[in-house]
Structure 1
Amino acid sequence: MSGAFTLLDDDEPRKSSGTNAAEFSVSELSRAVKRAVEDGFGYVRVRGEISGFRGRHGSGHCYFSLKDADAAIDAVVWKGAWGKLATKPEEGLEVIATGRLTTFARSSKYQIVVDNLEPAGLGALMKQLEERRKTLAAEGLFDEARKRPLPLMPRVIGVVTSPTGAVIRDILHRISDRFPAHVVVWPVRVQGETSGAEVTAAVKGFAGDYGGPRPDVIIVARGGGSVEDLWGYNDEALVRAVAASPIPVVSAVGHETDWTLVDHAADHRAPTPTGAAERVVPVRSECLATLSDRARRLELAISALVRQRGEHLRFLSRGLPAGAALVEPQRQRLDIAADRLTSALYKRTADARHRWLIATRHLSPAIASRPVERARDRLTMADGRLGRAADALLSDRSAAALRSAARLSPRLLERPVREAGDRLARTVDRRDRAMVQRLGAVRQRLTGAERMLSARLLEQPAAFARERLSRTAERHDRAFAHRVAQLRQHLSVTDKLLSAVSYQGVLGRGFALVRRADAGLTVRSAAAVAAGERLELQFADGRVTVTEGSAPGAPAPATGGAKKAAAVPARRRSKKTDDRQGILL
């Protein structure tokens, strides 16, 4: 194929006035190139990797690119050819495309119109991505068990994205509409060779001490693009930083069909950046409505519980006995304990008195005076020995002095002897006074000890026993008075009860007791009375004797009077007759 263009008659180039070069319009040149390309490459087979595939367009056509390591070419599948394709295009799939080359004049691009696709295997880039994914998955970085839940209401939200794109505006707008929160944006490049390193530094910086508020959740966001455009989010260092972040991370890279390794390592994945904003914050109005509903339900539940417990309490209270029935057994136990206490008090007093008598039986003045007598005897013996020793010493000293004086001249010895005699006399006098004073002090201590011993041995036990006996007598008097009061109260209650059930009370209300006048037996029915039989009617104030069929006689004296004994002869009653078993009329 030559490099010259073949032009139609209407495309004849026009020569300018100043040069021999042909002059073309843009449309003329574009149509000439289109004819040259289509004529030179009418039907070709191209091997390459599908990139930028976004699915079918709304018109039914499909657009993508075929690329290899050095170049890329645009491709289009028309709506009519889509249904005839045996292999549908997929992102990253290496295929052999069969079609014809043409140009698109609007953008001065050439493209291949695909009529058929044949799979040729995964592209090199997708192979590298798949190998990296398998390696990181084997290390457990993509395990669901290690992923953490998002906070319900985060106060601070960290966003790692470009500060100038539409992504950050969509996120801020969505957060302000749903639940306003403090947003911290870490600006990074989202495309290019340094995008992976910058996003990695941002994720680590939020988790460290970067000088600002610590986020409760991190959003890693970016708009859609081809595999090459999103390649920075497949960086191994970024994936490890996201997996090791102590703060939950939400990945919002690309669109719904775009997947990167960060999406697998993040705690949650959102299909779009707007979806990430909706995922991290709730709707404030819905939270308030939920809180109000739960408060209402809690109030109703508490009311129902209180009502149910009240009914249960009333049901249980019906089975409880009356208050008196609960107290009466305890009162009876108290009475029994009081009776046992009185008898135990008497027994304890008798035992104490018996022990006191046994303890004091062996105490007497003679026992207390024996140590004093023995001490006095030892003192007398010591006094005698001391006197004899003093006399012997004085005698020995005097004899020695006389023997020495006999060997000297009377004149030489008269004065010394006299002075020595005076000193000896003074010494003996001082010794005698000291001995007498010491003996007096010893005698005084012995006398005091004797008195103390006598008081302790005789008076202290007696005073202690007397005090215990006095306390015991006081307790006995109080217990006796309390017992007498209890018996008096019991007797009064019994007397009132007897008066209430006695037949004399019934007679006082207008009734009468009928007896046979001769035998004193109680008449229980009218059929038991014979004609002309004498009957005795007992009223509350006396008795009356009557004959059946006649008027009653004079009233008998009151029961217990002296005249009654004369008017009504006393008769022996039967053992089976009792006043309380009579007939009341």
Structure 2
Amino acid sequence: MNHSTNIPEYKVTQFNRAFKQIIQNNFDYVRIKGEISEIKEATKGQIYLTIKDEESILSGVVWEQKKRSLQLSPEIGMEVILIGKITTWSKFRTTYQIDIDKIEIAGEGALLKLIEDRKKKLKTKGLFNIENKKSIPFLPDKIGVITSPTGSVIYDIINRISDRFSVPIDLWPVSVQGTDAAMSIIEAIKGFNNMNFKEKPSVIIIARGGGSTEDLMAFNDEKLAISVYNSNIPIISAIGHETDTTIIDFVSDLRASTPTAAAEKAVPLKSELAQMTYNADQRLNFIINNQIKSYKFNFENLIKLLKAPNLIINNFNQKLEFIFHNLERTIQKENEQIQQNFINTTQLLKIPKNLIYLRKNMIINLNKNLNVLLNEKIAFKNEKFYKLIRILNANSITTNLKKGYSILTKKNKLIKSAKLLQKSDVLKAQLSDNNIEVEIKKIN
């Protein structure tokens, strides 16, 4: 019996439509939690991404028209909740995916961990080092502001700067939230730093009002942090409220707690400048007046000292005459002293005959003593020499041979012991007058 007649039969398109209907009926609008493991951006602007958990993966897509409404930019490793519809696709291959309308962080803890890991990475690269920060000018020629053109932030900054010390302000409008926010702020920083930008600002303020950690994620972007670090123009960051701290607050050259505080740090208070100028003017006037009084006092004293020219000349003449007479007396005394010293020295100088005679006798005596010592030394050495000759002759081989001794050798080797000999050995005996050969007959 053929049971296949009970199995329904579909065409490919028919089955795919039926499968799509089942998926859409059962999974109309869903929230799916997972970790982003892959991100690809297509040329048409849509974003393809993959999320995973411990056992499986799911593909997703953010279409170009929906990308602008995202509150945060997806990144690999981010724990998220994807909100959207499950759809199928079967034109070239069969698959299903989630059409993403919204991306949420899976709890603030996951988001804070992501920010903390990014802080550690950037800190290791030296982006937070104090020695790399640029100084904020005391009185800037122009201030560049990067913020939303529609919020209250820009008006707070403009009003605060106008109240303190009015300087020109250039606004570079950007998005301060969403997937495009970080890139638009980066472009604004590059724009202000561009060499072709006329009348560049002396300082840049990057500002945004308060919000949740998720709302402020654009200011925790790694690329934005690097762009702030590389800016040639000093940057003041003013993100959120006083308790809000983002990554660019650590990278910027100066952090302000609020946009209003940033405006206060960017320009001095005009009234304070006026007071400082007044105080400086008062101190300068005081110094100048004291100097004039001092010069006047010195001038009046000089006038009192000035007398008639003939009196001054006579006074100097008298001083010169007095000095001349003193000098003349001093020279005369010196000459007299020198002459007396010469006479005394001449009297002391006599021919030393007695000394020469004494030294001559001493040399003669020394010569005699030297000859005696030399003769005694030579006699002692001669006697010692002859003693050594006698000892040498008494112990010489020739002398001992004449006494009746002989020297025995075997094959030109000296015999010192009978143990070296055997019966019938032929030895050579050296006597005082000749050499003889002997044969060993017996060894006792």
Same fold flag (TM > 0.5): no
Structure (1 or 2) with the larger CA radius of gyration:
1
Between the two structures, name the one with larger relative contact order (CA 8 Å, sep ≥ 6).
2
Shorter-chain TM-score tier: 0.3 to 0.5
Decide which structure has greater helix share: 1
What TM-score results when the alignment is normalised by the length of structure 1?
0.34
What TM-score results when the alignment is normalised by the length of structure 2?
0.45
